[in-house]
Structure 1
C-alpha cells in the first residue's frame, strides 16, 4: 500500500518544506493539482456542486504542476510525484511531452502523469485548445506521448495530432506511467483501456469498492486484467491500519491522505505540519507495512 498526499489548497511557499517532511517520514508520493486561472466571468459549471460553482475562492493558488514537481524532486530523495489531475488536453501535445519528460529525467524516474479532461471551458479557450474534442484528443494523446518519449527520431500521425519526424530531448530513461482521472464511463474506460492506472477523488468505502470493481470489469473486457495497474484514491473513513489493509486487499494500491487534517495550522508556521505527519507515519504507515 502506497501513501500519498496532495498540494491542493496549501500555501505555495509551504509545499517544498512539507514535501521534505513527507519524504523523511516515509510517505510514497505527492500529487499536484492543476488549474490555470479563475476567470471573472465563469460560466462552466463545476461538477458535483449544487450551485455549479467551485468551492474555492478566485484567489486560491494553483502553482504550475511541472514547475512544482521539478522543485519538489530537487528537494526530496525518494518521494514520487503525480497529478490529481493534470488537464493535459488543454495544452499542446509537444508541451506536455517536453515538460513530463524533463521532470522524469531530473527526478530520476520518480514521475507519473495522471491526466483528465477537466471541466472549465474558459481554460481551454484561453490556451487555444478545443473544449469539445478534449476526450477524443486525450485518447489519442496518451499513445502519442508514449511514442514521443521513446527517444531518437520520433513522429506521430493521428486524427487530432500530427508531429513530423523529430527528436525531443531529454527523453525518459524508462517509460513514464500514465494514469487517468475521472468518474464518467468514458474516463473509466480510458483508464482501463489505455492507462497504467486510475486516480480517483475521496469516497466512502462502498463507493470506492464500486469503482475498483468497475475498473476490474473493464480491464477484463479489454483483455488487460493481468497488466500492472494502480488505483489511487482517498477514503472518507476514519484512518486506521485496518482500513488501509482492507483497501490493499481490495485492490487499491495507493491512498491519498492529509495527515494534518484537523490540526491547528493557524500560526502560519510550516513546522506545524511536522507533528501530524510524523504521528500518521508512526501510527498508520509503520503498522500497515509491518
Structure 2
C-alpha cells in the first residue's frame, strides 16, 4: 500500500516557501504521492440561502497545474496527484497541454484525478454547460489519452473535433494515468470501465465495501482486471491515536485500497444540517504544524513506508 500526503491548501497560506517546504519534506520522508484539491472559482455562501456545498469562496485553492509545475522543480520522486480536477469545466486540449507539461517537467510524476463537478454556478462562471457533463467527460478522457500518445490525431466526436492536430511536447507517460473521483453509480461505472484508478470519498465501512465490490463486478463484466484498478483512500490523522489510525489503514487494506492519503486538516461535515461547520474547525495554526504532523506520522508508522 502506498502512503501519500494531502496538500493542506486551506491552511498552507500563500508563502511560496511554506508550499515548497511541505512538498519537499513529504518527498524526503518517503511519502509516495501528494494530492491536492481543485476549485477554479469560489462561491459566496453568505449570498446563497440554504447553502449545501462543502467548499466556498473562503476556502483557498491553489491552481493545480501552476502549483505542480512549481513543485515539479523542487521535488524529486513524489507523485503529483489532482484529486480531483473538474474536467468538464475546462477545455480538453488545454488540459492535455497543461498536464503533458507538468508530466514532462516532473519526469513523469503526474497522476490526473478527474471528476464531473457538482456546482452549476461554477460551470456558469467558467462559461461551461453543467448539463451533460458526465458524457462530455467520458469523451474528454478518450481525447486526452489520444493527444498524449500521438504527435497528431484526427478526432470526430459529439463534443470534440480535431483535424490532424496535436500537442508538442508530449508527456513522459503515454498516457498519463487518469483516476476518477466520485461515488455515484455513474462514477463507479466510469471507474470500472475507463478509469486507471478511483478517488472515492467514502469510509472503510459497509458503504465502502459495497462500492468497491460493485466497481470490481462491473470491471470484470467489462473484461477488465479489477485488481489493476487503483483505489485511493483519505486518512484524517489530527486528534486521533496511532492505534486508531493503524486500525483504519488495515480496514482499508482489507477492502482493497492501494493508496492511503494522509490528511492533516480537520473534517467537520455536519450530516444533520448538510453543511461544512467552519465555526467548529480546529485546524493547525501554522504551515509548520502540518509538516510536523506528517513527520510524526511517518516516525510512528515507519513500517508502512
TM-score, reference length from structure 2: 0.83
| Distance verdict in 2 for CA 1:64–1:251, change over 3 Å | same
- Does 2:134 match 1:135? yes
Q: Which runs of 5+ in 1 are unaligned?
A: 46-50
Give, in angstroms, the shift of residue 5 of structure 1. Answer: 2.0
Give the corresponding residue for 2:252: 247
Give the corresponding residue for 1:182: 182
Give, in angstroms, the shift of residue 56 of structure 1. Answer: 4.1
CA-atom RMSD, angstroms?
2.5
Q: Report 1:43-58 matches (<5 A).
A: 51-58=50-57
SS at match of 2:163: strand
Give, in angstroms, the shift of residue 55 of structure 1. Answer: 4.1
Give the corresponding residue for 2:10: 9
| Distance verdict in 2 for CA 1:118–1:213, change over 3 Å | same
Cα distance in 1 for partners of 2:76, 2:293 equals 21
Per-residue CA distance 1:25-71 (angstroms, 9 max, x = gap): 111111121111124489999xxxxx443344523211111111111
Q: Report 1:78-157 matches (<5 A).
A: 78-157=77-156
- Structure 1 outlier segments of 4+, above 6 Å: 41-45
| Distance verdict in 2 for CA 1:42–1:124, change over 3 Å | farther
Cα distance in 2 for partners of 1:109, 1:44 equals 42
Give the corresponding residue for 1:207: 207
SS at match of 1:78: coil
Cα distance in 2 for partners of 1:42, 1:149 equals 42
Contact 2:180 2:191 in 1 (8 A): yes
Contact 1:208 1:235 in 2 (8 A): no
Cα distance in 2 for partners of 1:64, 1:163 equals 27
SS at match of 1:86: strand
- Does 2:288 match 1:287? no
- Does 2:25 match 1:21? yes
Cα distance in 2 for partners of 1:196, 1:22 equals 24
Give, in angstroms, the shift of residue 9 of structure 1. Answer: 1.4
Per-residue CA distance 1:197-217 (angstroms, 9 max, x = gap): 110125253332222212111
| Distance verdict in 2 for CA 1:250–1:55, change over 3 Å | closer
Q: Which runs of 5+ in 2 are unaligned?
A: 267-280
